[in-house]
Amino acid sequence: LEEAKPLPPSQQLEPPSSMPRPRPIKRRARMVILGTGWAAMNFVKDLDKELYDVTVVSPRNYFTFTPLLPSVCSGTLTPFSCIEPFRHFCRNPKTGKVDVTFYEAYAEDISFVQQRVTCKSAAQQVKARSKPKPSAHPLPFPSEYIPLEEYDTLFHIPYDYLVVAVGAQNNTYNIPGVEEYSYFLKEIEHARDIRKRIMNNFEKAYLPGVSYEEKERLLHFVVVGGGPTGVEAAAEFMDFIRDDMSKYFPEELMLMAKVTLIEMSPRLLPMFSGAVSKHTRKVFKKLGISVMSEYAVSEIKEKTMTVKNLRTPRPYDEDEAIGKDRPAQGETKEMPYGFVLWAAGVGQVELSQKVLQKLREQKGRSRMAVDGQLRLLGTENVYCLGDCAEIVPKSIAEAAPDLWKCMAPHHGFFLPWDDRHKIVTQKTQTFAMAVQWLISNQAQLAADFPQMSPTKYDFREAIERKWDKKQFDYQQLKNFLASIDENYRSPAPTAQNAAQQGTYLADTFTKFRTKASKFEAPVFIEKWKGTLAYVGDSQAVADLPPDLSALTYLMPGGTILKVENDVQPPPNPSNSNDTEKIEENKTENAVQDASAGEEEDDLRVMPSGAKKDDKFICILGGNFSSLFWRAVYLQEQMTWRNRIITTFDWLKSHYLGRDVGR
Ligand code: NAD
């Protein structure tokens, strides 16, 4: 317990002089958490609630398992398999007591001076459907019949510690019409709406008297954004159309139905390796999903959208949605559509934008900047986690004077980093010696500077620069350390990283109990556990770290590449050296994959977040890949309740088909 604050003077009673003075009442530090997403859930779950008085504020009283939302759009899963009521986590299962206070409300503003959060009820979002019944005995407390405006009041929650984990929202980039006409896929309601709209379009197109052009427009499903959300959604839409709608609607109508994916960059799934990206395109081609890469959507109207071509047309642009009519570079064309999903990346929510304006240290940033321990820059007791935060670690270049002291030889050996304050010498040394010292102290340094972690900086590259023959002076050391600073990338806004940050912070808050001691905690360094995506046709793709190589034995039928990190030509089965890289059962498809040489450079791309190690594993489809994908997601779910619902939903969809009612 810490920071026992005496009660305000007005509440203190002066004891009679004959009585012993009471000891000040100790209270637990008030901890306010904003959000019920990946970061907040993992934080609440792992935090020792006996140490803090915990209050959670979020506009939704459930956690959403976001990776499975595309499956809800297609009806493969029911919404209940993806949501976890938050109140389950407010109750201590051992004592049966509620040990977390939860308010379903929006955090409207934060006052860093008064240390309080201003909140507004989220109940106003619910529309009253029935008129209130007149009651003979009015209830003394707000009942469900009291008009919703009554809840529309602001209330304040004071905090000693604040954890902001409000996530991100879809980024519209202020493109005209996106907010008005497109659908997003971030919440369970979005998935429900998308499903309704897809069904609606099929039913409308089937009505007699609807023109051919209109039918074609209604059945054109467009997904904007070739990231994992867009790819998985496009794959699920196509599976649904192919496997289920085709059973109930005539062939003429099914021939008109199409799914188009529009992506600004040349590659699908940019955060995956080149091999995965290439394989995804291949599966999409087989499924009939048109991929319009290097096109940017510049405007969306009610029935058409404007797309801009970003590159010179090539003779083999055969995978386009509407004919083969790629306009000249920089030119636009109109495309009719019946439904559009906007999955073009994430931006900041209103609260984060307010914080960015409020604090001097945050001005001009796109995400809330936090230090290595996830503390919001410009504050001492506010932490930010997940998609709303960006780690800006303290600069190692600024620690150059201390490092230089430690590196200088002293009586024949180097000093460890912990003894940096003990000695000053001005001797110069070679670059190789400096790097050697940095490598041998890497673990200690990484506890203070995440940019020094072996997963973030690869010293092999530095050694290969062969500076070791030169004398190495202080300024060169500083420049070298500045290059390590520049090399650092904050963790990507993924569910995996948000969950790890939640667990890390809960651990910090449990082990380091006072405000001052929290500054001593080691910094956060994410661990890449691989990336997975469903690409349709019962196929999943994955990039996995090498320590999971045992899993490759569970993947008969798929292509498993052990990919070298350094620049290598793509594996070619006709080359005896390269055949070693293509392991396990090579299907016919796999051989075609590896030998297709037209996108050679693409295959060398590393998955983002991958360890700077020599190898990673890349799983490309195969009979068992979707089973693997399912097993991973089942294991990632928070409770057995959800695992059971999800398993039943998958079995139901597999054996009985998806639900085609709205
Ligand atoms: P994203 O940022 O990963 O991808 C958005 C894509 O949209 C980009 O490739 C961008 O080039 C494209 N784009 C942007 N504006 C465009 C425009 N005007 N026209 C056409 N294309 C445009 O977004 P996401 O897929 O929503 O993912 C968000 C985050 O969540 C990412 O970090 C992602 O890794 C993570 N995520 C991961 C998984 C998974 O691992 N399976 C699933 C979902 C999300």
**Could you report the predicted ipTM of this complex, rounded to two decimals?**
0.95
198 neighbors 190 (Cβ within 8 angstroms): no
| Architecture field, domain 178-344 | 3-Layer(bba) Sandwich (3.50)
CB 195 within 8 A of CB 662: yes
Q: In b/e form, how buried is each residue of 8-46, taking b as 16+ CB within 10 angstroms?
A: eeeeeeeeeeeeeeeeeeeebbbbbbbbbbbbbbbbbee
For residue 238, give every residue at least 6 positions away whose Cβ sits within 8 Å of its Cβ, in sequence order, or none: 259, 287, 288, 289, 536
Within a 13 Å sphere around the CA of 14, how many CA atoms are in the beta-carbon half?
2
> Per mean pLDDT, which range of 58-67, 75-84, 251-260, 318-327 is the poorest?
318-327
Which amino acids bring their CB within 6 angstroms of ligand 1? Answer: 67, 224-230, 262-265, 270-271, 296-297, 343-346, 492-494, 531-533
Helix intervals (H) in 452-608: 459-464, 474-487, 495-511, 576-579, 588-595
If you measure from the C-alpha of residue 470 to the centroid of ligand 1, how many angstroms do you get, rounded to a whole number? 45
When mean pLDDT is compared across 202-216, 350-364, 552-566, 634-648, the lowest value belongs to 552-566
Pairwise pLDDT comparison (375 vs 653), residue with the higher score? 375
Position 132 scores a pLDDT of 47
Helical segments of 7-86, H only: 38-46, 69-74
Asked if 451 and 398 touch (Cβ cutoff 8 Å), the reply is no
Distance 330 CA to ligand 1 centre (A): 23
Long-range Cβ contact pairs of 645-652 (< 8 A, separation 24 or more): 645/78, 645/80, 645/81, 646/68, 646/77, 646/81, 646/82, 649/76, 649/77, 649/78, 649/81, 650/76, 650/77
How high is the pLDDT of residue 619?
A: 72
Cα of 441 to ligand 1 centre, how many Å? 37
Position 621: which residue type? Answer: G
Among 257, 220, 216, 259, which Cα is nearest to 236's? 259
How far is 544 from 591, CA to CA, in rounded Å?
Answer: 21
- CA–centroid distance, residue 186 to ligand 1 (Å): 12
**Distance between CA atoms of residues 241 and 635, nearest Å:** 29
User: What is each CA distance from 579 to 278, 433, 567, 584, 594, in whole angstroms?
Assistant: 19, 39, 17, 11, 10
d(C-alpha 253, C-alpha 237), whole Å: 16
- The pLDDT assigned to 548 comes to 67
Pocket test for ligand 1, best of 82, 174, 229, 528 (most atoms within 8 A of CB): 229
The reported pLDDT for the residue numbered 454 is 85
64, 494, 496, 633: which to mutate for ligand 1, most atoms within 8 A of CB? 494
Helix-strand-coil split of the chain, %, nearest 5: 40, 20, 40
- Check residue 103 and give its pLDDT: 93
Distance in angstroms (rounded) separating the CA atoms of residues 37 and 190: 16
Which single residue is written with the structure tokens 């670690």? Answer: 393
The alpha carbon dihedral of 525, 528, 529, 533 has a sign of: positive
Q: Please report the atom of ligand 1 found closest to the CA of residue 270.
A: 9
Cα(267)–Cα(406) distance, integer angstroms: 46
CA 436 vs. chain centroid, Å, equals 36
The proportion of the chain whose per-residue pLDDT surpasses 90, expressed as a percent, equals 48
Query: How far, in Å, is the centroid of ligand 1 from the Cα of 267?
Result: 12
Q: Give helix then strand counts, H and E, for the chain.
A: 20, 27
Question: Six-digit token pair at 568?
Answer: 């290598």
Fold exhibited by the domain 26-125+149-170+347-392+490-527: FAD/NAD(P)-binding domain (3.50.50)
What is the rounded (10 degree) CA torsion for 644, 646, 647, 650?
160
User: By the 8 A CB rule, do 388 and 368 touch?
Assistant: yes
- 620: helix, coil or strand? strand
Between the CA atoms of 40, 41, 43 and 44, what dihedral angle is there, to the nearest 10 degrees?
Answer: 110
| Helix or strand run (H / E) with residue 228 | helix 228-240
How many Å apart are CA 480 and CA 477, to the nearest integer? Answer: 5
pLDDT-derived band of residue 270, with 50, 70 and 90 as boundaries? confident
Residue with more model confidence, 266 or 13: 266
Give exposure, 169-188, as e/b (b: 16+ Cβ within 10 Å): bbebeebebbeebbbbbbbb
439 band by pLDDT with thresholds 50, 70 and 90: confident
Ligand 1: residue of 71, 264, 281, 340 to mutate (most ligand atoms within 8 A of CB) is 264
CA 343 to centroid of ligand 1, rounded, Å? 6
Structure tokens at 316: 């083999």
The residues, any chain, with a CB within 8 Å of residue 2's CB and separated by 6 or more, are 29, 513, 514, 515
Of 565, 491, 488, the C-alpha closest to 527 is 491
Tokens representing residue 250 in the block: 């005539």
Phi first, then psi: what are they for 628, rounded to 5°? -60, -45
Q: Which residue's CA is the nearest one to ligand 1's atom 3? A: 227
Between 614 and 650, residue with greater pLDDT = 650
- Strand 154-158 and strand 116-121: the pairing is antiparallel
Atom 35 of ligand 1, nearest CA residue: 494
Output the residue whose Cα is nearest ligand 1's atom 11: 264
- The Cα–Cα gap between 630 and 1 comes to 43
Q: Is the dihedral of CA 223, 226, 227, 231 positive or negative?
A: positive
* pLDDT higher than 90, residue 595: no
Question: Where in the chain do CATH 3.50.50.100 domains reside?
Answer: 26-125+149-170+347-392+490-527, 178-344
Could you give phi then psi for residue 67, rounded to 5 degrees? -60, -20
53-56 contacts: CB < 8 A, separation 24 or more? 53/27, 53/28, 53/29, 54/99, 54/100, 54/101, 55/30, 55/31, 55/100, 55/101, 55/102, 55/103, 55/157, 56/32, 56/86, 56/90, 56/100, 56/101, 56/102, 56/103
- Of 456, 446, 443, 403, the C-alpha closest to 425 is 403
Centre of ligand 1 from the C-alpha of residue 270, in Å:
8
| pLDDT given for residue 272 in this prediction | 86
Window from 275-279, 471-475, 603-607, 652-656 with minimum mean pLDDT: 603-607
Question: From the CA of 291, how far away is ligand 1's center (Å)?
Answer: 15
Q: Which two tokens stand for residue 473?
A: 């002076």
Measured from the Cα of 531, ligand 1's closest atom is: 40
* CB-count burial class (<10 Å; 0-12, 13-18, 19+) for 392: middle
CA–CA distance, 412 with 426 (Å, rounded to integer): 14
Alpha-carbon distance 293 to 279, whole Å?
15
pLDDT-derived band at 549 (thresholds 50, 70, 90) equals low
- 309-324: average pLDDT: 64
Res 606 pLDDT > 90: no
From residue 542, alpha-carbon distances to 235, 236, 617, 635 in Å are 15, 17, 8, 16
Mean pLDDT, rounded, for 428-438: 72
CA of 204 to the centre of ligand 1 (A): 31
Nearest one of 547, 526, 529 to 446, comparing CA atoms: 526
More confident position, 458 or 632 = 632
Exposed/middle/buried for residue 584 (C-beta within 10 Å: 0-12, 13-18, 19+): middle
Give me the sign of the Cα torsion angle 569, 571, 574, 575: positive
User: Does residue 524 surpass a pLDDT of 90?
Assistant: yes
Most confident of 15-19, 249-253, 429-433: 249-253
Split at pLDDT 50, 70, 90, the class of 402 is confident
Phi, psi of 406 (to 5 degrees): -70, -35
Q: How far apart (Å, rounded) are the C-alpha atoms in residues 224 and 212?
A: 25
**HSE, side-chain direction, 13 A CA sphere, residue 542:** 30
Pair of tokens at residue 65: 């398992």
Q: What is the pLDDT of residue 554?
A: 58
Ligand 1 atom 4: the closest Cα is on which residue? 227
**Rounded distance from Cα 263 to ligand 1 centre (Å):** 9
